Structure 1
Amino acid sequence: MEIMSLQNTRVKEWAGLQEKKHRDRSGKYIVEGVHLVQEALQAEADVECLAYDLDKGMPAELKGLLQAVQGMEVIGVSAAIIAKCSTTNTPQPVFAIVRKELRGVEAVLAKPDSFVIVLDGVQDPGNVGTIIRSADAAGADGVILGQGCADVYNPKTIRSTMGSLFHLPVVEGDLGEILPQARERGALLVSTSLQGAESCYAHDFRGSQWLLIGSEGQGISPATAQLVDKSILIPMAGRAESLNAAMAATILLFEGMRQRGM
């Protein structure tokens, strides 16, 4: 199948997925570039269709994956359509439309000794994506996004995950409901604070631990802070006042990984 017109209704629908309201309404999102499309196909994500630049041809990295995917349309399009549907200045010659998976928190809660990162009001899509990538790298069991976080399906968030979005559960939900359930199942709820009582290197990360990361400016919300069991400190030798959310999360995740013997 081929589509060449920018006025085609499907092209307009694809381009609309750059906006959250259209992603929410359709239950779909767009994944751009060879690497991310490859990750989506390898993870058996629910890919509705794959569009590629007809003039450049199907990228070699994807050819071998296409036979294994059932029920996915493959559509040749013009470079102009690729550009219209892309959020980058130099669009890659392929994108995919993926249906959202309704991921419940139960899969994360059910894991014994779960190691989870929880985001509370982290608004920067690059930070949210980087934290998902770090959680994947450190062998975490999931990432929970509370209200006020950047949309996980924002194209910038997806790019920042570098495909890790497809490797572990990423769940959006109400922390006021989720965190008490986690504690009931034995999780220790730990946040970072400049006033933390203990260094993150002295803290024992073994057992079920849910690490809370707050917004870049305000930290975790007062409501979330009331649910926290322990606050720890990332010690700093230099003069920087604080670390960005993704850096702080990564330090905690990797110290946790080291101690847990992953």
Structure 2
Amino acid sequence: MIQSIQNGKVKKWNKLKKKKWREKTQTFLVEGPHLIEEANKSSWPIKELILTEDFRLGFDPGELPVFRVSDEIMSYLSDTETSQGILAVCEMKEIPFRSSFKRVLMLDRVQDPGNAGTIVRTADAMGFDAVIFGKGTVDVYNEKTIRATQGSLFHLPVYRGDLPEWSEQLKKLGFSIWATAIEEGKPFQSLQVPDALGIVFGNEGEGVQEKILTIADERVYIPMKGKAESLNVSIAGGILMYYLQAQA
């Protein structure tokens, strides 16, 4: 039973709130029974379980190290207002990009973790093959991002990297690239949907960067009848992904 915030284990777990430490250790924190059970069911490597004294696991931990901590420490480590009594330290998992992939969504400098996580969740629901987080996009292993995915992080391959480079590589694999943009854009319904498609959504304020717009085969936008100037990026993503899966 760990009761001191000064405990070495507690200090290491708390460091995982910082991207730098997550990258160094290639591990990250997951909070809550639902997310941890999804990670376990999806065979993501769990290194350690952290539980409050009274918490009862819903699955057999096998030989996993299990640490019991006080409520005070759980609250200290928790990213939520009310802790759920369980945390896990998971290893980052690299999933090879498959030649069979046909639908890929890319995020260009999307900085809100709720938006980014919701897009991953929606891409999972709409049958997309992968999501790519470009440079400047919030860290996929940020606790708020993970929570917003509602477990889809463990079902859907998520990659990170330079989006102009990814776009060029996808084109070599036979993908067409659509970038969302009002200027010089076409209504998305007016275009024939290609067999293999990568679609880019941009920063909430600045849109898709010019370098990617230059690479893109098409610029697309969502026609709107009302007076709103724009849509939330996760809502726009949901509209386009629903349309594209219906056309598949």
Letter of the 1:50 partner, please give it. L
Determine if the alignment matches structure 1 residue 169 to structure 2 residue 157.
yes
Aligned 1:178-217 pairs, distance under 5 A: 178-217=166-205
Aligned equivalents of 1:188 and 1:233: distance in 2?
A: 16
Q: How many residues align?
A: 248
**Residue in 1 aligned with 2:43?**
44
Q: Is the 8 A contact 1:196 1:233 kept in 2?
A: no
Deviation, 1:22, is 1.4
**Residue in 2 aligned with 1:254?**
242
Query: Where does the alignment leave 5 or more consecutive residues of structure 2 unmatched?
Result: none
Q: Is the 8 A contact 1:206 1:259 kept in 2?
A: no
User: Does the residue aligned with 1:189 lie in a helix, a strand or coil?
Assistant: strand
Q: Is the 8 A contact 2:55 2:86 kept in 1?
A: no
Letter of the 2:25 partner, please give it. S
- TM-score normalized by the length of structure 2: 0.95
Letter of the 1:58 partner, please give it. R
Aligned equivalents of 2:169 and 2:100: distance in 1?
A: 13
Deviation, 1:176, is 2.5
Deviation, 1:195, is 3.0
Q: Is the 8 A contact 1:15 1:86 kept in 2?
A: no
**Residue in 1 aligned with 2:97?**
107
**Residue in 2 aligned with 1:153?**
141
Q: Is the 8 A contact 2:179 2:212 kept in 1?
A: no
Aligned 1:53-64 pairs, distance under 5 A: 53-54=52-53, 56-59=54-57, 62=58, 64=59
- TM-score normalized by the length of structure 1: 0.90
Q: Is the 8 A contact 1:136 1:168 kept in 2?
A: yes
Q: Is the 8 A contact 1:205 1:256 kept in 2?
A: yes
**Cα deviation code 1:33-66 (max 9, x no counterpart):** 1111111111111100111111x2314xx2x343
Match of 1:75 among 34, 52, 67: 67
Aligned 1:7-46 pairs, distance under 5 A: 7-46=6-45
User: Does the residue aligned with 2:189 lie in a helix, a strand or coil?
Assistant: coil
Q: 1:42 to 1:249 in 2, by over 3 A?
A: same
Letter of the 2:97 partner, please give it. A
Letter of the 1:57 partner, please give it. F
**Cα deviation code 1:180-201 (max 9, x no counterpart):** 1110111010011223543222
Aligned 1:83-162 pairs, distance under 5 A: 83-103=75-95, 106-108=96-98, 110-112=99-101, 114-162=102-150
Deviation, 1:5, is 2.2
User: Does the residue aligned with 1:176 lie in a helix, a strand or coil?
Assistant: helix
Q: CA RMSD in A?
A: 1.4
Determine if the alignment matches structure 1 residue 224 to structure 2 residue 212.
yes
Q: Identity rate of aligned residues, in percent?
A: 37
Q: Is the 8 A contact 1:197 1:233 kept in 2?
A: yes
**Cα deviation code 1:130-154 (max 9, x no counterpart):** 1100100001000011100000011
Structure 1 outlier segments of 4+, above 4 Å: none
Larger displacement relative to structure 2 (2-11 or 150-159): 2-11
Letter of the 2:210 partner, please give it. P
Aligned equivalents of 2:55 and 2:80: distance in 1?
A: 20
Query: Where does the alignment leave 5 or more consecutive residues of structure 1 unmatched?
Result: none
Match of 1:245 among 233, 236, 240: 233
